Copies of this chain bind each other. A is one copy, B any other.
């Protein structure tokens, strides 16, 4: 009898796209129309609100994933990726309504998934290498896997930021809520 390991998947473009194409609708369902007070909530100091995270995802669509995939395919390890600006969203989002940001993210993601499809990547392409300015040599497979995990990481962040608004209000239940107690379990 063999035991199936359900904790890991090998990367596949089809399975990755299944997540990537769902992220805009997921964020839309969670955030569109929420009272402004929820959207503006953060975790203190320079931490990000849900609004900030959507701006960050837009900036990623414009400058990170597909542009870096093209650099790998066209220039390989010879040219390091441009650095990603983790604070660009503050300019991207300024004075815009969340609904416009959600629309823009959905539209950019759709275009980028079309661009990905048009690349017709083979397994050999996925092994091709590029150079990250800090992490060093990375493969296209790692870049595309990270695109997926990065989406999910920011869904986690948004849900966590929202939940922690009620850190005091949940009273003794705090002990059972990993999202508030900080245990990731």
B179/A149 in contact, CB under 8 A: yes
Which of A30, A43, A138, A182 has the most C-beta atoms of chain B within 10 angstroms of its own C-beta?
Answer: A30
If the complex has contacts A156-B156, A179-B152, are A35 and B18 also in contact, measured as CB distance less than 8 A? Answer: yes
If the complex has contacts A37-B15, A178-B153, are A171 and B139 also in contact, measured as CB distance less than 8 A? Answer: yes
Main secondary structure of the interface of A (DSSP, over half): helix
A99 contacts across to B, CB distance below 8 A = none
The number of chain A residues touching the other chain, given as a range, is 35 or more
If the complex has contacts A9-B166, A29-B22, are A152 and B159 also in contact, measured as CB distance less than 8 A? Answer: yes
User: How far is the CB of A131 from the nearest CB of chain B, in Å?
Assistant: 11
If the complex has contacts A35-B15, A159-B152, are A142 and B164 also in contact, measured as CB distance less than 8 A? Answer: no
A180 contacts across to B, CB distance below 8 A = 149, 153
A143 contacts across to B, CB distance below 8 A = 173
Contact residues of A between 24 and 62, Cβ < 8 Å to B: 25-26, 28-30, 33-35, 37-38, 40-44, 49
B19/A138 in contact, CB under 8 A: no
A71 contacts across to B, CB distance below 8 A = none
Q: Which residues of A contact B (CB under 8 A)?
A: 6-11, 14-15, 18-19, 22, 25-26, 28-30, 33-35, 37-38, 40-44, 49, 132, 135-136, 138-139, 141-143, 145-146, 148-150, 152-153, 155-157, 159-160, 162-173, 175-180, 182, 184-185
